[in-house]
Amino acid sequence: MAKIGSFGTEIGSKAMLLGSGELGKEVAIELVRLGVEVVACDRYEGAPAMQVAQSSVALNMLDGEALRGAIEACKPDHIIPEVEAIATPTLVELEKEGYHVTPTANAALLTMNREGIRRLAAETLGVATSAYRFASTKEEFLEAVHEVGIPCVVKPIMSSSGHGQSVVKSEADVERAWTISQEGGRAGAGRVIVEGFVDFDYEITLLTVRNVAGTQFCQPVGHIQQDGDYRYSWQPQAMSTVAIAKAQEIAKKVTDALGGYGIFGVEMFIKGDDVIFSEVSPRPHDTGMVTMISQDMSEFALHARALMGLPVPAIRFYGPSASKAIVVEGNTNRVEFGNLEKVLEEPGVDIRIFGKPEVRGHRRLGVILATADSVEEAIAKCDRAYAKLEIKVLPEEK
């Protein structure tokens, strides 16, 4: 029987977020709504989830000793990884000692880097994927590019939001791709995956919820990427019934192998009725931010409910919806968003400002959401709202 006791008492429930960005912030809000005490962790102070959690800890989560110390001091009922850059072997050890990791420590370990999940999907489960090779040195990388062929995509085995990712379109791009991969990985320079270029019509994220009531699927999320990072997402992505069935079959096979309860963002390429597996995140997905306006329970509410051992009997989809990322360029700790009364003047439009404390280069600082009678009109609403948004990058405050 699932129980949540009084906050702040010995019978209360405590969750520790490992990663406190915009996605972690929404998970924290949903957990707090359930009466759960949230401890938000990240590598820096003032991260978005820290602004809504009851307490916070700043630490290097790749430092296994520091991570263990923080967890043992907190004694959480639930450890919730929200980023890839975590000392996952430490989580595996702690799970064996009795701590509960969402969805499981093994899922976090396998999906923390692209090698673990790619080998599980392609080599263990027999799921269709793109051609791929892994490389640890520049020599191995050059050989991998030769074997996979050009064009190809190069990614650090551990990164997110497109960091370190690039496309090799010709021999002239090879040297640059290696440099980008070594500078952009979450754990610094290291091993990469070289993927064969997939001929696809579109790509989707299939948000898959494993919970005590079984496995549920959200409407497929379509999205547009730029430099490996999402710029637009929408629901529903139009798909044939055959493709939807195949996508759900693949998503269930992969998430069942990972196990545990929570939401998984399963990324796939679609070509006609064919479905090719790409990646999976055992946590809410950035493209899934559209669910904050498209359905009765956002991906964050679904994650919180599932990991707490509560059922998700059904997901009510409201209708065509879209999101547009607000990406800001500059080097400052002072950004001002203005003209918001105009941004929100059109019915069916909303905005989330993440509260990130600074920008270095470029950074996603918010998202515009919209609903409409069609996906195309929802995207157009996002564009109209974005065009009205005034963004001032002010001089840094020392």
Give catalytic residue positions. Answer: 160, 162, 267, 279, 286-287, 364
229, 165 Cβ separation under 8 angstroms: no
Dihedrals phi, psi of 316, to nearest 5 degrees = -90, 120
32, 52 Cβ separation under 8 angstroms: yes
The residue assigned the tokens 């405050």 is 397
Give CA 232 to chain center in angstroms.
Answer: 14
Total Cβ atoms within 10 A of residue 217: 16
Length of the chain measured in residues: 398
CA angle 45, 46, 51 (to 5 degrees): 135
- Going through the chain in order, the beta strands assigned E by DSSP cover 14-18, 37-42, 55-58, 78-81, 132-135, 152-156, 166-168, 192-196, 202-211, 214-217, 221-226, 229-235, 262-271, 274-281, 321-332, 335-338, 349-353, 359-371, 390-393
> How far is residue 41's CA from residue 55's CA, in Å, rounded to a whole number?
9
> How far is residue 310's CA from residue 36's CA, in Å, rounded to a whole number?
13
- Which amino acid belongs to residue 285? H
Q: CA nearest 312: which of 248, 244, 217, 205?
A: 217
Q: CA nearest 90: which of 112, 67, 72?
A: 67
- Paired tokens of 209: 């919820």
Dihedrals phi, psi of 82, to nearest 5 degrees = -120, 0
181, 166 Cβ separation under 8 angstroms: yes
